[in-house]
Amino acid sequence: MLFTTEHVALAESMRAGTLVEHLDIRFGVNAEGRLQASMPVDKRTFQPMGLLHGGATAALAETLGSVGSALLIDLSKQATVGLEITANHLRAVREGRVTATAELVHQGRTTHVWDIRVHDEAGKLSAICRLTNMIIDRQ
């Protein structure tokens, strides 16, 4: 699936009043058309040792994959909910912004699986995440 600036605009419109807005998660698309999201490494996302909190990294990854799934379904009839997330934290990040890039691994009728890689501003890999979303019918 190739994402466009129109997808980014829709993703950005979902931020207001959510954890996404609080953490200043911003959406974009890379040159290959993959959906991306970035987040600051600051007092909102630090753990007590002054490093990017693993839970904040997981929130970034889940946000990106969930929004990615939302952009692939008919939101008037369906919704997406996270079913499982794993995160392998590989490198500490102390400042700047981290950027997550999502790749759709599986797009089934009721589940989507995303591979999400998080890099620091120097392009160093800091985390690898896997997210499984369930696609449900709206009541």
- Triad 14, 20, 21: Cα angle to 5°: 85
Query: Is 12 known to be catalytic?
Result: no
Classify residue 97 by burial, with Cβ atoms within 10 Å: 0-12, 13-18, 19+.
middle
Given a contact cutoff of 8 angstroms between Cβ atoms, the answer to whether 101 and 36 are in contact is yes
Please, is 28 exposed, middle or buried when counting C-beta atoms within 10 Å of its C-beta (0-12, 13-18, 19+)?
A: middle
Residue among 6, 32, 62, 84 flagged as catalytic: 62
Catalytic positions: 62
